[in-house]
């Protein structure tokens, strides 16, 4: 059965093609999966984008005002929505502490007797601000804002005492800080969150779908049928990766064109073809991880569990919830091997910062190398797992 | 299936069988009227009536999906139903509360090996758990446990976790756990499915003994037709309806007729002639069997001779039909015409004939310290159907996997079409077909998509794909189902589609791993028809593994595997002759009190006497002498209405004899059977 090389290559392609079509058909026929898929790339991202971020919103403020003067009321009134909400006033000192203990108030402020008098006489005075910092980020913000409000009020009173009006302020040696917010001028959290959610869905679906695709074949015995046929391991595994990649690229297209643009009015700065290409490369890499999970386990439930074990650290150390910069050095090295970290980096760069390939090439290269290594291991493992 | 007229069954004029209980009780233990159960609107059981008398073993016989499990679960009070009434111990099961009232008096063992047991608990812990669940007092528990474990010969394995037991042992433990609270009725759902023939026989013997002793009533289901003889009364169930009910002998007589077995110098032509004339024709190795409805022995012989005028015929024998013949005939009568039998004939262009297609040379495979296959050697010439027979775990599947290149042998070699499979070159893979146990189809793809997928994998061009797709749909009888999802097809069609997919590239060598599990008798017969045509007309070599002993008769040649070794390698007929030469011929004893007859025969020195429903089977070295000796012997034991007749060995007899002999020689066999 000697065939010319050209026809053998043609045959190779045809085999790859029928296998890929088979994978796509199987995904398309899986109605619950398709529903979840549509949900994940649309509703999930809309909902996730609208969730609150780590900012100070509606912190419950309890005030114990022992001075009960114009100055003390003025200070308390400066704790305004949307940052603070007035919860209540008065009560004994231990009652206020109980409010904190029970989580009924987040900030408790004590204004001592003689507060106004001290200010009027030009003496320094103090107020006590107790903050619940269980959620450290938000707690820190509540404390910082409180400090700023108190300082601003004190500055105003000091200037008034010195007889300096607002107009005369210009002639004083003060430093004004001029801020420019780039890439997300309104500091709209939804932009950051929705892109992050999309990346997470891409990761979740590629890993789980490819794991399930191979584990199911093993469980139903169809994989043996394929092993006995004249297909190479590459021809069995590559179609799965190709199909899953196509599916998630389609998903990101839906997200970008139906959610990010119209719903969140994201400007989509960079080249979309570049973004989808990079998504395809990432799809290849993370489906490779899924195949790896399926080749080292025996059945669907084991493979599913392993996929989740892989998925959690990948998400946690991707920089999506925790900034890369804050990680200790050794973790930093590990993050280099996290394909999602590179993908999220490239995605923010392209979609929000308008970067081109000249800026993201290193992420792309890292993803491609990781993908080749993982997929190569999967192909190597595939044949051996039956031994 | 007795060959020749020498097996003029005693059943016809045998004694009427009174039930083992002394007096016929007025009220049956279970009474089912017009029972109906639907799943998502699709009826699974439809209008079934069933009555189980006190003290009997009642069989529910039918293929997968016939509705056996639904019916049994309803009787056990664990399944609600839509139509009809179910009455157990005179209590109508119409609410949760009434179900609870009968549950303490019955035992239920669901389908699946050890599914009701706890895998990580030991044998003893499992029994204890079920006993305490039923509030059995500790002293009674200790007594009953000792007895049940001794009878099931599990007492040596008290400490062993259930998951490390063999299939047969799991089922025996399941039985012990079902009986520990001494129920009056036990419901056993396919307790012998997936259990090897030796363990199966042992299970039946233990069951019969326990039930007899305690006067327990049992409802037992099975998918094996040849187990029907185990029951005192049986109901044949097919697609949710009862086809026939009564004593096995009575059912057998429902469709009068004879089976004619013959050999021919031109089997293909003979097969074609027979099929044109008779509705039930099948090939069993070199033998062709035809069922001649309504005829007596002479009439059947004449009808077949007439149909085969001009075709060379040898060894024409007339036999009584099997229950399976009857089952198929009943179905055919019901379906009036039934489905047409398409010819499996392929388009012209057969494969080369002659030569060795498959050769195993000292094939060995180790998994860790466990030797799954131990120096297995055999040869399969082109055009032969070769059967690899053995219990679960004997190594059959591992042999096939080595020969198809899925796993590598640890030692020895396998050659397929003259090429070493270890190298597993693509060219060789293109010439073999393989169908695995699980009917490896993509259930979410349609019939045509499955065929096209495999055509694409084997690199068929567009025109060849179309032609082969047509051939497969025709061969498998799938016309009209092309657009159906493969997973929604009934078992028989699914199996033939899997076969079609394995044949899409016209392989010269075909490997089939347990191809007929779960398929009904009609589907099984049709499947074997196709294999017959492939091997005879296209010269395809077929290697098939099976644990259905009755199927082994279809093979031209058999190899018997035990604990990884091939312990016998011959034609089916030769294997039977060898066993007869060693153990003597088989006698069947019919009597009014079969349970007592077994004991009497054993006492008289017939150690192998075993109960088959209402009959006793005995091996005899001196058939003529024993034929004369047994009736007076039983008469003197007070057992009446005795008749003894020789019976032809079945493949199961051969298997059990061979394996039992090996087990006594080598008790530490991997099966771990005590």
Mean local confidence (pLDDT), A303-321: 85
Q: Using the 3D structure, point to which of A138, A171, A204 is the last residue of a domain.
A: A171
**Most A CBs within 10 Å, among B358, B435, B444, B485, to test the A interface:** B444
Mean local confidence (pLDDT), B510-521: 82
Encode pLDDT of A316-350 as tens digits.
Answer: 888 777 666 777 778 888 888 899 999 998 998 89
Q: Give the number of other Cβ atoms within 10 Å of residue B532's Cβ.
A: 23
Element (H, E) at B185: strand B185-188
Q: Using the 3D structure, point to which of A171, A203, A218 is the last residue of a domain.
A: A171
Per-residue tokens: B254: 């429902």
Residue A181 lies in a domain: no
Peptide bond into A82 cis (omega under 30): yes
Q: How far is Cα A326 from Cα A330, in angstroms, rounded to an integer?
A: 12
- The edge-to-edge listing of strands for the beta sheet with A84-89 is A84-89, A59-65, A107-111, A128-131
Encode pLDDT of B586-608 as tens digits.
Answer: 888 888 788 788 888 888 888 77
Per-residue tokens: A15: 């085999």
Encode pLDDT of A133-151 as tens digits.
Answer: 888 888 888 999 999 999 9
Where does residue A114 rank: exposed (0-12), middle (13-18), buried (19+ CB within 10 A)?
middle
Select the residue of B407, B438, B459 nearest A14 (Cβ to Cβ).
Answer: B459
Q: Where are the beta strands (DSSP E) in B417-564?
A: 419-420, 432-435, 509-513, 541-546, 557-562
**Closest residue, chain B, to A20 (C-alpha):** B453
Q: Looking at the 3D structure of chain A, how many domains does it have?
A: 2
Q: Give the number of other Cβ atoms within 10 Å of residue B614's Cβ.
A: 26
Strand pairing report for B615-620 and B610-612: antiparallel
Tell me, yes or no, whether A310 and A272 share the same domain: yes
Among B444, B372, B468, CA closest to B412: B372
With H, G, I as helix, E, B as strand and everything else as coil, classify residue B59. strand
Encode pLDDT of B550-587 as tens digits.
Answer: 788 889 999 998 888 998 899 988 888 888 888 888 88
- Smallest CA–CA separation between A19 and chain B, in Å? 7
Report long-range pairs for A96-99 (Cβ below 8 Å, ≥24 apart). A96/A62, A96/A64, A96/A130, A97/A130, A99/A62
Encode pLDDT of B405-448 as tens digits.
Answer: 888 889 888 888 878 877 666 777 888 999 987 777 898 999 99
Q: How far is Cα A221 from Cα A217, in angstroms, rounded to an integer?
A: 6
Given this model, what pLDDT does residue A147 score? 92
Please name every residue paired with B559 in a beta bridge, in sequence order, or none if there are none. Answer: B388, B569
Q: Do B436 and A30 touch (CB under 8 A)?
A: no
Given this model, what pLDDT does residue B94 score? 85
Q: What angle do CA B119, B123, B125 make, to 5 degrees?
A: 85
* Contact call for residues A118 and A93 (beta carbons, < 8 A): no
Among B8, B196, B49, CA closest to B656: B196
Select the residue of B426, B435, B442 nearest A22 (Cβ to Cβ).
Answer: B442
Radius of gyration of chain B (CA): 25
Q: What φ, ψ does residue B347 adopt, rounded to 5°?
A: -60, 160
B340, pLDDT greater than 80: no
* Contact call for residues B42 and B65 (beta carbons, < 8 A): no
- Smallest CA–CA separation between A292 and chain B, in Å? 20
DSSP, res B378: E
Residue A78 lies in a domain: yes
**Closest residue, chain A, to B443 (C-alpha):** A26
Mean local confidence (pLDDT), A260-265: 86
Given this model, what pLDDT does residue A374 score? 92
Q: How far is Cα B536 from Cα B385, in angstroms, rounded to an integer?
A: 9
Q: Give the number of other Cβ atoms within 10 Å of residue A372's Cβ.
A: 13
A276, pLDDT greater than 90: yes
Q: Which residues of chain A are within 8 Å of residue B366 when distances are taken between CB atoms? A: none
- Smallest CA–CA separation between B623 and chain A, in Å? 49
Q: Do B457 and A19 touch (CB under 8 A)?
A: yes
Where does residue B253 rank: exposed (0-12), middle (13-18), buried (19+ CB within 10 A)?
middle
Q: Using the 3D structure, point to which of A119, A138, A171 is the last residue of a domain.
A: A171
**Closest residue, chain B, to A8 (C-alpha):** B459
Mean local confidence (pLDDT), B339-352: 43
DSSP, res B13: G
- Smallest CA–CA separation between A93 and chain B, in Å? 59
Q: Do A225 and B449 touch (CB under 8 A)?
A: no
> Which residues are within 8 A (CB) of B373 and not within 5 positions of it... i.e. 6 or more apart?
B363, B364, B365, B395, B398, B399, B402, B409, B564
Cα dihedral angle (A4, A9, A11, A15), rounded to 10 degrees?
Answer: 160
Q: Do A17 and B456 touch (CB under 8 A)?
A: yes
Q: Which residue has better confidence, B291 or A52?
A: B291
| Residue B638 binned pLDDT confidence (cut-offs 50, 70, 90) | confident
**Most B CBs within 10 Å, among A26, A229, A383, to test the B interface:** A229
Tell me, yes or no, whether A205 and A330 share the same domain: yes
Per-residue tokens: B341: 């039998």
B339, pLDDT greater than 70: no
Element (H, E) at A128: strand A128-131
Given this model, what pLDDT does residue A1 score? 45
Encode pLDDT of A225-248 as tens digits.
Answer: 898 888 988 999 999 999 999 999
Encode pLDDT of B29-51 as tens digits.
Answer: 999 999 998 888 788 888 899 99
Q: How far is Cα A127 from Cα B274, in angstroms, rounded to an integer?
A: 108
Tell me, yes or no, whether A240 and A333 share the same domain: yes
Tell me, yes or no, whether A105 and A243 share the same domain: no
Mean local confidence (pLDDT), B369-379: 89
Q: Which residues of chain B are within 8 Å of residue A300 when distances are taken between CB atoms? A: none
Tell me, yes or no, whether A128 and A148 share the same domain: yes
Q: Give the number of other Cβ atoms within 10 Å of residue B213's Cβ.
A: 11
Q: How far is Cα A287 from Cα A289, in angstroms, rounded to an integer?
A: 5
Per-residue tokens: B206: 């233990």
**Closest residue, chain A, to B449 (C-alpha):** A22
A192, pLDDT greater than 50: yes
Q: How is B615-666 classified by DSSP, letter by letter?
A: EEEEEESSHHHHHHHHHHHHHHTT--S-EEEEEPPPHHHHHHHHHHHHHHH-
Residue A182 lies in a domain: no
> Which residues are within 8 A (CB) of B594 and not within 5 positions of it... i.e. 6 or more apart?
B611, B613, B614, B615, B616
Among A44, A53, A97, A93, CA closest to A260: A44
- The edge-to-edge listing of strands for the beta sheet with B280-284 is B280-284, B287-293, B257-264, B313-319
Tell me, yes or no, whether A265 and A378 share the same domain: yes
- Smallest CA–CA separation between A287 and chain B, in Å? 21
Q: How far is Cα B135 from Cα B122, in angstroms, rounded to an integer?
A: 20
Residue A177 lies in a domain: no
Q: Which residues of chain A are within 8 Å of residue B441 when distances are taken between CB atoms? A: 222
Q: How far is Cα B648 from Cα B315, in angstroms, rounded to an integer?
A: 16
Residue A176 lies in a domain: no
* Contact call for residues B530 and B524 (beta carbons, < 8 A): no
Q: Considering only B80-94, B295-309, B310-324, which range has the smallest mean pLDDT?
A: B310-324
B346, pLDDT greater than 70: no
Mean local confidence (pLDDT), B361-383: 89
Q: How far is Cα A162 from Cα A156, in angstroms, rounded to an integer?
A: 10
Among B542, B630, B551, CA closest to B586: B630
Q: How far is Cα B158 from Cα B495, in angstroms, rounded to an integer?
A: 41
Element (H, E) at B582: helix B572-583
Q: Do A221 and B444 touch (CB under 8 A)?
A: no
Q: Which residues of chain B are within 8 Å of residue A230 when distances are taken between CB atoms? A: 426, 429-430, 457-459
Given this model, what pLDDT does residue B15 score? 39
Chain B 426-465, residues with CB within 8 Å of chain A CB atoms: 426-427, 429-430, 432, 434-438, 440-445, 449, 452-454, 456-459
Per-residue tokens: B66: 């016939």
Q: How far is Cα A208 from Cα A122, in angstroms, rounded to an integer?
A: 67
Q: Which residues of chain A are within 8 Å of residue B457 when distances are taken between CB atoms? A: 15, 18-19, 226, 229-231
Tell me, yes or no, whether A26 and A159 share the same domain: no
- The edge-to-edge listing of strands for the beta sheet with B411-416 is B370-381, B356-367, B411-416, B419-420
Residue A210 lies in a domain: yes
Tell me, yes or no, whether A26 and A84 share the same domain: no
Q: How far is Cα B376 from Cα B364, in angstroms, rounded to an integer?
A: 7
Q: Give the number of other Cβ atoms within 10 Å of residue A185's Cβ.
A: 9
Question: What percentage of chain A has pLDDT greater than the value 70?
Answer: 96
Element (H, E) at B45: strand B42-52
Tell me, yes or no, whether A258 and A359 share the same domain: yes
**Closest residue, chain A, to B404 (C-alpha):** A228
Residue A369 lies in a domain: yes
Given this model, what pLDDT does residue A329 score? 79
Tell me, yes or no, whether A28 and A78 share the same domain: no
Encode pLDDT of B452-492 as tens digits.
Answer: 999 999 988 889 999 999 999 988 888 888 898 988 887 78
Q: Which residues of chain A are within 8 Å of residue B449 when distances are taken between CB atoms? A: 22, 25
Q: Do B452 and A229 touch (CB under 8 A)?
A: no
- A220 to chain B, any CB pair closer than 8 A? The answer is yes
Mean local confidence (pLDDT), B320-338: 74
Q: How far is Cα B228 from Cα B240, in angstroms, rounded to an integer?
A: 19
Most confident of A222-226, B343-347, B487-491: A222-226
Given this model, what pLDDT does residue B667 score? 55
Tell me, yes or no, whether A221 and A310 share the same domain: yes
Per-residue tokens: A377: 């291991």
- A42 to chain B, any CB pair closer than 8 A? The answer is no
- A384 to chain B, any CB pair closer than 8 A? The answer is no
Q: Which domain holds residue A157?
A: 59-171
With H, G, I as helix, E, B as strand and everything else as coil, classify residue A101. helix
Cα dihedral angle (A264, A270, A274, A280), rounded to 10 degrees?
Answer: -30
Q: Which residue has better confidence, A285 or B55?
A: A285
Please name every residue paired with B259 in a beta bridge, in sequence order, or none if there are none. Answer: B291, B319
- B408 to chain A, any CB pair closer than 8 A? The answer is yes
Q: Which CA distances in Å does B454 have to A198, B73, B442, B465, B467?
A: 36, 40, 11, 9, 13
Given this model, what pLDDT does residue B337 score? 42
Q: How far is Cα B594 from Cα B641, in angstroms, rounded to an integer?
A: 11
Encode pLDDT of A17-62 as tens digits.
Answer: 999 999 999 999 989 889 999 999 999 888 887 777 777 888 899 9
Per-residue tokens: A226: 């394929």
Record the pTM: 0.79
- Helix H segments across chain A? 5-29, 31-41, 43-49, 70-77, 93-102, 115-121, 136-161, 189-220, 222-228, 233-254, 272-295, 300-316, 329-335, 339-351, 357-384
Q: How is A245-302 classified by DSSP, letter by letter?
A: HHHHHHHHHHIIIIIITTTT-----S-HHHHHHHHHHHHHHHHHHHHHHHHSSSSHHH
Tell me, yes or no, whether A374 and A243 share the same domain: yes
Residue A180 lies in a domain: no
| CATH code for the domain in which residue A92 is found | 3.40.190.10
Radius of gyration of chain A (CA): 29
């Amino acid at each position: 059965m000697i065939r010319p090389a050209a026809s053998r290559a043609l045959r190779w392609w045809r085999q790859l093609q029928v296998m890929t079509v088979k994978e796509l058909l199987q995904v398309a026929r899986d109605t619950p999966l398709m529903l979840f898929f549509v949900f994940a790339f649309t509703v999930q991202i809309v909902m996730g984008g609208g969730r609150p971020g780590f900012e100070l919103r509606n912190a419950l403020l309890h005030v114990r005002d022992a001075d009960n003067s114009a100055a003390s009321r003025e200070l308390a009134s400066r704790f305004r929505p949307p940052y603070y909400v007035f919860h209540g006033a008065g009560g004994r000192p231990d009652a206020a502490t109980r409010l904190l203990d029970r989580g009924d108030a987040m900030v408790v402020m004590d204004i001592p007797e003689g507060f106004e008098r001290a200010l009027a006489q030009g003496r320094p005075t103090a107020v006590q601000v107790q903050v619940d910092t269980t959620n450290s980020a938000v707690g820190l913000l509540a404390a910082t804002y409180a400090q700023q409000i108190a300082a601003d009020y004190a500055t105003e009173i000091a200037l008034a005492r010195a007889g300096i009006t607002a107009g005369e302020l210009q002639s004083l040696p003060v430093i004004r800080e001029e801020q420019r917010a780039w890439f997300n001028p309104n500091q709209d959290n939804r932009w950051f969150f929705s892109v992050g959610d999309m990346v997470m869905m891409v990761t979740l679906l590629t890993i789980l779908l490819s794991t399930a695709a191979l584990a199911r074949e093993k469980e139903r015995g169809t994989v043996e049928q394929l092993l006995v046929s004249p297909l190479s391991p590459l021809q069995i595994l590559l179609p799965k990766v190709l199909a899953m990649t196509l599916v998630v690229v389609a998903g990101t297209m839906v997200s970008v064109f139906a959610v990010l643009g119209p719903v969140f009015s994201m400007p989509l700065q960079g080249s979309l073809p570049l973004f989808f290409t990079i998504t395809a490369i990432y799809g290849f890499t993370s489906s490779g991880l899924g195949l790896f999970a399926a080749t080292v386990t025996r059945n669907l439930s084991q493979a599913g569990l392993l996929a989740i074990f892989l998925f959690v650290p990948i998400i946690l150390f991707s920089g999506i919830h925790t900034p890369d910069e804050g990680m200790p050095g050794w973790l930093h090295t590990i993050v280099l091997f996290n394909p999602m970290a590179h993908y999220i980096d490239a995605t923010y760069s392209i979609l929000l910062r308008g970067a081109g390939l000249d800026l993201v090439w290193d992420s792309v290269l890292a993803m491609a190398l990781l993908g080749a290594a993982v997929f190569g291991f999967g192909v190597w493992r595939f044949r051996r797992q039956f031994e | 299936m007795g060959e020749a007229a020498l097996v003029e069954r005693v059943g016809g004029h045998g004694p009427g069988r009174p039930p083992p209980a002394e007096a016929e009780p007025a009220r049956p233990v279970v009474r089912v009227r017009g029972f109906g159960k639907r799943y998502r609107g699709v009826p699974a059981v439809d209008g079934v009536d069933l009555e189980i008398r006190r003290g009997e073993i009642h069989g529910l016989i039918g293929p997968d999906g016939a509705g056996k499990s639904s019916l049994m679960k309803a009787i056990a009070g664990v399944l609600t139903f839509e139509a009809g009434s179910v009455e157990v111990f005179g209590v109508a099961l119409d609410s949760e509360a009434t179900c609870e009232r009968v549950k303490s008096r019955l035992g239920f063992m669901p389908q699946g090996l050890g599914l009701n047991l706890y895998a990580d608990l030991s044998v003893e812990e499992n029994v204890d758990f079920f006993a305490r669940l039923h509030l059995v007092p500790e002293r009674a528990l200790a007594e009953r446990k000792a007895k049940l474990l001794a009878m099931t010969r599990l007492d040596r394995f008290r400490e062993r976790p259930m998951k490390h037991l063999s299939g047969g042992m799991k089922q025996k433990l399941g039985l012990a756990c079902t009986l520990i609270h001494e129920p009056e009725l036990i419901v056993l759902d396919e307790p012998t499915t997936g259990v090897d023939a030796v363990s199966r026989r042992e299970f039946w013997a233990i069951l019969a003994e326990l039930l007899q002793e305690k006067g327990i009533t049992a409802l037992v289901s099975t998918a094996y037709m040849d187990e029907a003889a185990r029951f005192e009364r049986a109901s044949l169930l097919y697609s949710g309806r009862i086809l026939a009910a009564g004593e096995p002998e009575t059912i057998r007589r429902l469709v009068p007729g004879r089976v004619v077995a013959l050999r021919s110098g031109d089997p293909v032509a003979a097969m074609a002639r027979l099929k044109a004339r008779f509705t039930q024709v099948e090939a069993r190795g070199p033998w062709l069997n035809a069922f001649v409805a309504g005829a007596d022995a002479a009439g059947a012989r004449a009808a077949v001779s007439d149909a085969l005028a001009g075709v060379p015929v040898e060894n024409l024998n007339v036999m009584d039909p099997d229950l399976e013949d009857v089952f198929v005939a009943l179905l055919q009568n019901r379906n009036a015409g039934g489905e047409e039998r398409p010819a499996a004939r392929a388009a012209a262009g057969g494969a080369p004939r002659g030569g060795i297609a498959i050769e195993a040379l000292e094939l060995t495979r180790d998994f860790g310290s466990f030797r799954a296959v131990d120096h297995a050697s055999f040869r399969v010439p082109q055009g032969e159907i070769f059967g690899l027979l053995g219990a679960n775990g004997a190594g059959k599947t591992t042999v096939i996997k080595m020969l198809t290149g899925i796993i590598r042998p640890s030692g020895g070699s396998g050659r397929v079409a003259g090429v070493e499979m270890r190298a597993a070159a693509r060219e060789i893979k293109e010439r073999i077909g393989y169908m695995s146990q699980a009917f490896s189809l993509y259930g979410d793809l349609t019939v045509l998509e499955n065929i096209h997928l495999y055509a694409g994998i084997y690199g068929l061009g567009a025109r060849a794909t179309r032609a082969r797709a047509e051939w497969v749909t025709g061969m498998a009888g799938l016309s009209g189902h092309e657009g159906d999802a493969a997973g929604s097809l009934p078992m028989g069609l699914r199996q033939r589609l899997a076969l079609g997919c394995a044949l899409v590239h016209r392989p010269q060598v075909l490997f089939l791993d347990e191809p007929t599990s779960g398929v009904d008798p009609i589907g099984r017969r049709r499947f074997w028809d196709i294999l017959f045509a492939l091997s005879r007309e296209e010269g395809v070599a077929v290697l098939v593994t099976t644990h259905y002993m009755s199927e082994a008769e279809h093979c031209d040649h058999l190899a018997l595997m035990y604990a990884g070794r091939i312990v016998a390698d011959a034609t089916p007929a030769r294997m039977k002759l060898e066993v007869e030469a060693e153990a003597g011929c088989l006698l069947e004893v019919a009597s009014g009190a079969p349970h007592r007859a077994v004991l009497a025969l054993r006492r008289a020195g017939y150690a192998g006497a075993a109960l088959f429903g209402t009959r006793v089977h005995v091996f005899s070295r001196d058939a003529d002498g024993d034929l004369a000796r047994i009736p007076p012997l039983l008469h003197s034991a007070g057992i009446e209405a005795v008749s003894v007749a020789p019976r032809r060995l079945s493949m199961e007899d051969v298997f059990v004899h061979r394996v039992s002999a090996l087990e006594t020689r080598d008790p530490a066999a991997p099966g771990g059977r005590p």
